Amino acid sequence: MMKHEALIDRLAQTHTLTLAEYEVLVAGQTPALAAYAAQRADALRRAVYGTDVYVRGLIEVSSVCRNDCYYCGLRRSNAACERYTLTDAQILECCEAGYGYGFRTFVLQGGEGVFTAAHVCALVREIKARWPDCAVTLSLGEYPTADYAAMRAAGADRYLLRHETADPAHYARLHPAGMSFENRMRCLRDLKALGFQTGCGFMVGSPGHTPQTLAQDLKFVETFQPEMCGIGPFLPQKDTPMGKEPPGSAEQTLYLLSLLRLIRPNLLLPATTALGTAAQDGRERGILAGANVVMPNLSPVEVREKYALYDGKICTGEESAQCRDCLARRMEAIGFRIVTARGDIRQ
């Protein structure tokens, strides 16, 4: 126990550990150690961001996807998934509503291969023209380098592309042969080089995840130095090949959030919907463990159920305004406050 606490202390001070040390920390998780890590992480987060929680309006633009990731309900082989794609007008209506709620970042997320780069660029230009004080985040999967460059030139500020796992063999267990770890990494390098605020991330407890592969994820975040990192528990979706696998744990996700905060004190770190699904108070506990971002759903209510990455997803019934109010109350109840700001990374 003392050894583990000493590692946490060193991580809080130097923001680096060896791969072997990360593995020791992951494998050594106990409730007491997690509480200790959360306390150190909370102090670092407060030093950079105070009690401000940044809010991102999440617009789930399409449930169509050309990929076939084994874990995801939107995978192309899932005949049970209801497919939709929002029109540009619908997406802009979501932004309009979100702006009124005080959101100054819009995240356009969806399956891969639906929107051409030219289409994405046109949308980004329109959003930036109408709401110049807002940031646009894209989360639309893998594109060639030139396409990312065009999106950046069109004004997109941020890009979320979870690496899913930093271990190539584990990556191959989660994805079919057509998808490659190397290309995912190429995308992340491109995004960073193009000046996007870049987000990587991973599912916690996906099939085959071990303390060893989780240690690789932590080392990857330490070395890649992303501006954002999205993590949430793996949650099975019944119509996928991994539908009978056990879910990832909320407790482990919370502990990893704390370790990520210790690795990068200024990281934009969301308490995700998947965490809120795995535990009723998951997002509040995520903030208390070191997160500083929440992403309420801004999608039209009639499509919410169809964007079923995993089973049991919360917030599929509420109107966007209710989601915003619910999250604001949840944050206030734990002594934090949602702020009206773009919420860029603080240096």
Binding site for ligand SF4 (CB under 6 A): 65, 67, 69, 72, 74-75, 111-112, 141
Shortest distance in whole angstroms from residue 148 CB to ligand SAH: 13
Please report, for residues 45, 46, 190, the alpha-carbon distance to residue 292 in angstroms, rounded to integers and kept in the order given. Answer: 8, 9, 26
Say which residue the tokens 């030219």 belong to: 118
| Alpha helical stretches, state H, 265-346 | 273-278, 282-289, 301-304, 320-333
Which of ligand SAH, ligand SF4, none interacts with 167 (beta carbon under 5 to 8 A by kind)? none
Shortest distance in whole angstroms from residue 287 CB to ligand SAH: 19
Q: Which letter does DSSP use for residue 82 in this model?
A: P
- Ranges of beta strands (E only) in the chain are 52-55, 57-62, 105-110, 135-139, 158-160, 197-204, 228-233, 293-294, 337-338
Distance (Å, whole) CA 226 – CA 170: 21
The nearer residue to ligand SF4, 110 or 276, going by C-beta atoms, is 110
Shortest distance in whole angstroms from residue 347 CB to ligand SAH: 27
The nearer residue to ligand SF4, 37 or 72, going by C-beta atoms, is 72
Say which residue the tokens 């084994």 belong to: 70
Which of ligand SF4, ligand SAH, none interacts with 17 (beta carbon under 5 to 8 A by kind)? none
Site residues for ligand SAH, 3-42, by CB under 6 A, read: none
**Which of 83, 125, 128, 162 forms a contact with ligand SAH (CB under 6 A)?**
162
The nearer residue to ligand SAH, 7 or 105, going by C-beta atoms, is 105
Which of ligand SAH, ligand SF4, none interacts with 25 (beta carbon under 5 to 8 A by kind)? none
- CA nearest to 105, candidates 141, 129, 136, 74: 136
Residue 99 is a binding residue for ligand SAH (CB under 6 A): no
Say which residue the tokens 């057509």 belong to: 178
The nearer residue to ligand SF4, 25 or 107, going by C-beta atoms, is 107
Residue 205 is a binding residue for ligand SAH (CB under 6 A): no
Distance (Å, whole) CA 316 – CA 297: 8
Which of ligand SAH, ligand SF4, none interacts with 75 (beta carbon under 5 to 8 A by kind)? ligand SF4
Q: Are 272 and 280 in contact (CB under 8 A)?
A: no
Please report, for residues 167, 174, 199, the alpha-carbon distance to residue 187 in angstroms, rounded to integers and kept in the order given. Answer: 16, 18, 11
Which of ligand SF4, ligand SAH, none interacts with 274 (beta carbon under 5 to 8 A by kind)? ligand SAH
Shortest distance in whole angstroms from residue 309 CB to ligand SF4: 6
> Which residues are at the interface with ligand SAH (CB under 6 A)?
71-72, 109, 111-112, 139, 141, 161-162, 164, 203, 232, 234-235, 237, 274, 309-310
